[in-house]
Amino acid sequence: MITKFGSLFAGHVDLDNEGLDGTAANERWLSDERLAEVFPKSEAIARLMDRTGYDTFWLAEHHFQREGYECIPNILMLALHLCHITRNIKIGCGFNIAPMWHPLRMAEDYATADWLTGGRVIFGVGRGYHTREVEVFGAPLRDQDANRELFEEQVEIIFKSFNERAFSHQGKYYTLPPQVPYRGYELSEITLVPRPKTLPVECWQPVVSASPRALDFMAKHGIKGIIGGGAAPGGANEKVVHAFREARARAGRETKLGGDLCIGFSFHIADSVEQGIKEATPFFEENIKMFAPLGFVPGLTAEQIDAVADPKRARQAGLPTLRNAIKAGTWLVGPPELITE
Amino acid sequence: MEIQHKYPGLEVVNVGQPVGTPQAVILEQLERFSTQVMPAFQ
């Protein structure tokens, strides 16, 4: 039974000239002042969600996005601030990208936020998907196997540091602690200071590849999953939901179908479906411009992806429409009673 | 409601607007969802 509603804000500022005919994504280069508008925008959303009964306001970590699409580099820092200007709403890390962090730095920062907010920050980890972000920080992304291997070792370390009063770790990427002398003894274990106030730590991760390896890793650590793109009957996500439960069962945890998962939808409430399509299409199209070249719009040809970057050709490229997305169940558009159904 | 019947273990749903949606629209839509849709689930 659905009891909690959240919303994810990846950190875009208000943009001019949107849509397929508008400014090409790579032509956007906003001023520092415009990019920093993400902070008052985040405050306004958090305050509204706090007042209106939402459970969690999710933020996304991204870097170097001069285009204005995803402009929050440090979501733990912003989460701390938002908790201090609101009363009840939780702030979710959706997600901290582990390969761009030292795992112990992430663990420390989360634990600090957990203490300072009384448990209102929700932990979340991801592997990343922007080469401009992950590889700039010196971690692999184009080599997906290396990225996953690094990520899994980092998460192992983070959970050890959360759950064990003192710990050590020896892996491919990290030896923690290094064997060094310290105040008259040889270092063999370390303690995270502070450890989180709230143990065990609730952790969320995006379900993207949904490979057995990925789902088994999540099940092993009890990591909950967030799935974007709705829940259309017979759609790809239906298989993912079943695979997620099967992985949980392999780890000895029986759940009802959909348990430990969060499913995400885009929505636009309007007096009619047609009115909703008219109002939301520019935002839908801007989203295509942002994500198609990153491979997140399935089914596009190379020619279509190329055309997305050209406002003169994009409209004629046969790109997906909001009407397609409604039919596929990834968007809910129309009167509130239709969305409720 | 349909998704609730389909996935009886599902307790958490995220709703929102995509990259590109102006602040005023996000606020209006989240407010409407909270008053016009969420009560049906309580």
**Domains defined for chain A, CATH in brackets:** 6-272 (3.20.20.30), 273-341 (no CATH)
Reported as a single tens digit per residue, the pLDDT across A170-208 is 999 999 999 999 999 999 999 999 999 999 999 999 998
Phi first, then psi: what are they for A61, rounded to 5°? -85, 125
Q: Nearest residue of A to residue B40 by CA position? A: A340
pLDDT for residue A92 is more than 90:
yes
Task: Look at residue A234 and tell me whether its pLDDT is greater than 60.
Answer: no
Quote the minimal CA–CA distance from B15 to chain A in Å.
5
Q: By percentage, how much of chain A surpasses pLDDT 70?
A: 98
B7 vs chain A: nearest CA distance in angstroms?
A: 5
Q: Give the pLDDT confidence score for residue B28 in this predicted structure.
A: 98
**List of chain A residues whose C-beta atoms are within 8 Å of the C-beta of residue B39:** none
ipTM of the prediction greater than 0.85, yes or no? yes
Q: Which residues of B touch A280 (CB under 8 A)?
A: 17, 21
Read off the DSSP letter of residue A25: G
Q: Quote the tokens at residue A120.
A: 């209102």
Work out the number of other CB atoms within 10 angstroms of the CB of residue A184. 5
Chain B positions contacting chain A at CB under 8 Å are: 1-4, 6-23, 25-27, 29-38, 40-41
Cβ–Cβ gap B27/A6 under 8 Å: no
3-state secondary structure of B2: helix
Instruction: Choose among A41, A266, A286: nearest Cβ to B16.
Output: A266
Chain B contact set for A259 (CB, 8 A): 9-11
Model pLDDT for residues A271-289, shown as the tens digit of each residue:
999 999 999 999 999 999 9
Residues of B in contact with A261 (CB under 8 A): 7, 9-10, 12
Please check the confidence at residue B20 and state whether its pLDDT lies above 80. Answer: yes
Which pLDDT value is given to residue A230?
66
**Burial track A76-109 (b if 16+ CB lie within 10 A, e otherwise):** bebbbebbeebeebbbbbbbbbbbbbebbebbbb
